[in-house]
């Protein structure tokens, strides 16, 4: 607390060690101490210096840990600071659009202090009575992914039968609640009985099941959707997608948000049962939230209002301290987190 501009401080950092093939491990990143910086935005740089308050752990970051340059985001640089979405406070600025004291959300470094040059996707947070960490979750990229994925890609209608995988995660929990508010019947899958209980009793899903306790996913889906599935919000891929393809209704929609089951596989498996896309006339579409940025103001207004009215709930899993980052991130891939995984770097 109480930093003064111009002072020399230690800047703790989380460093990306090197490219990986398998599932991320805590040891793929390391805490680096002893890096001294001067708390200032150099004159003429057009940059601004922030103190990072909250950092987001998101599965898409796995894609930046492999040596592959053909994706929508470049890979991390081995030996450099990990980067991701965060909520930060401006301390010093050489950019007229950002003043000391401003709160911003967007890409930042996994470190205590970052110098930010790139402002294209940064949002200024107008602090109201929403917790600041929500701006990298419910009101940030994951919440926005749920919002555009459901409304723009799934083309929902009242009384649709909706299935959400990884349903208690950062994205799935909001998809399910938006679907309920839209008048749909919603079932979610998750990987522990505690998560299933939260889906049914806290998040308001009509039903939910633990996929690890289902020896036959096709039979499970037939039990929960005897009439079939209109909308599948896809977060996992693999065996779950194969089972869903056997249970889609005619003219069903599959919004492909992620495939967390495939993140560990450098040699991904093929998907069976794709022929059903033809016979059932299913539309299966991949999407990125970054194609819909023009909808952000409407999204923030809609979701803030629903939250304040008590119409939606939000599960957040908060880890304390920058040093907890590597284990919190690795935990995403074994389902350790309950809800949206966030790291608190500093108290506001």
Find tokens 């996707």 and name the residue: 121
pLDDT of residue 71: 80
Digit-coded pLDDT (tens) for 253-284: 999 998 877 655 666 678 899 999 999 999 99
As a whole number, mean pLDDT of residues 50-54 equals 97
The predicted pLDDT at position 266 comes to 63
User: Pairing relation of β-strands 29-32 and 83-93?
Assistant: unpaired
pLDDT > 70? residue 10: yes
Share of the chain above pLDDT 70, in %: 97
What average pLDDT does range 287-309 have in this prediction? 94
Compute the distance between CA of residue 121 and CA of residue 229 in angstroms, rounded to an integer. Answer: 36
Q: Check whether 212 has a pLDDT greater than 60.
A: yes
Q: What 3-state class would DSSP assign to 227?
A: coil
Residue 315 has pLDDT above 90, yes or no: yes
Residue 1: pLDDT over 60: no
DSSP structural state of residue 253: E
Mean pLDDT of 77-105: 94
Given this model, what pLDDT does residue 286 score? 95
Retrieve residue 87's tokens.
Answer: 């909520």
In this predicted structure, the answer to whether residue 51 has a pLDDT above a threshold of 70 is yes
User: What band does 77 get if pLDDT is binned at 50, 70 and 90?
Assistant: very high
Question: What are the residue ranges of helices labelled H in the chain?
Answer: 141-148, 172-181, 193-201, 217-224, 238-245, 276-279, 296-308, 325-331
Give the pLDDT confidence score for residue 188 in this predicted structure.
98
Q: Give the model's pLDDT for residue 269.
A: 75
Taking alpha carbons only, the member of 261, 263, 214, 200 closest to residue 236 is 261
Q: 139, 303 in Cβ contact below 8 A?
A: yes
Q: Of 114-123, 175-184, 331-340, which range is least confident?
A: 114-123
Asked if residue 302 has pLDDT above 60, the reply is: yes
Q: How many CB atoms lie within 10 A of CB 248?
A: 28
Mean pLDDT of 75-101: 94
Rounded to whole angstroms, the Cα distance separating 117 from 129 reads 29
Mean pLDDT of the chain: 93
Question: Residue 5: its pLDDT value, please?
Answer: 82
**Predicted pLDDT at 6:** 82
Per-residue confidence at 232, pLDDT binned at 50, 70, 90?
A: very high
Q: What is the pLDDT of residue 264?
A: 59
Cβ 200 vs Cβ 142: under 8 Å = no
Q: Which residue has the higher pLDDT, 262 or 99?
A: 99
CA angle 284, 289, 292 (to 5 degrees): 100
According to DSSP, the β-strands at 13-16 and 29-32 are antiparallel
Nearest to 136 by CA among 101, 173, 88, 76: 88
């Amino acid at each position: 607390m109480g930093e003064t501009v111009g002072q020399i401080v230690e800047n703790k950092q989380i460093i990306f060690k090197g490219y990986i093939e398998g599932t991320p491990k805590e040891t793929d990143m390391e805490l680096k101490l002893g890096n001294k910086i001067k708390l200032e935005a150099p004159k003429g740089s057009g940059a601004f210096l922030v103190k990072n308050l909250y950092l987001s752990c998101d599965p898409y970051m796995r894609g930046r840990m492999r040596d592959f340059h053909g994706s929508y985001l470049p890979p991390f640089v081995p030996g450099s600071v990990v980067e991701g979405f965060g909520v930060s406070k401006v301390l010093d600025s050489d950019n007229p659009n950002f003043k000391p004291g401003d709160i911003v959300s967007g890409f930042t470094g996994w470190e205590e202090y970052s110098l930010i040059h790139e402002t294209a996707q940064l949002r200024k947070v107008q602090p109201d009575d929403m917790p600041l960490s929500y701006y990298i979750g419910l009101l940030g990229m994951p919440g926005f992914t749920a919002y555009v994925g459901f409304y723009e890609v799934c083309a929902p209608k009242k009384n649709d039968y909706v299935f959400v995988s990884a349903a208690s995660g950062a994205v799935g929990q909001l998809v399910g609640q938006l679907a309920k508010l839209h008048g749909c019947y919603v079932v979610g899958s998750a990987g522990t009985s505690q998560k299933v209980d939260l889906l049914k009793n806290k998040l308001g899903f009509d039903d939910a099941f633990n996929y690890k306790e289902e020896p036959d996913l096709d039979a499970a889906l037939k039990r929960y959707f005897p009439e079939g599935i209109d909308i599948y919000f896809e977060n996992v891929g693999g065996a779950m997608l194969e089972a869903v393809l056997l249970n889609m209704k005619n003219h069903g929609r599959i919004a492909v948000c992620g495939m967390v089951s495939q993140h560990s596989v450098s040699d991904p498996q093929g998907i069976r049962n794709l022929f059903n896309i033809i016979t059932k006339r299913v539309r299966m579409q991949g999407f990125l939230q970054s194609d819909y940025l023009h909808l952000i103001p409407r999204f923030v207004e809609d979701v803030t209002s629903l939250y304040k009215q008590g119409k939606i709930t939000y599960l957040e899993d908060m880890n304390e301290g920058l040093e907890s980052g590597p284990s919190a991130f690795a935990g995403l891939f074994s389902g350790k987190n309950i809800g949206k995984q966030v790291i608190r770097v500093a108290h506001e």
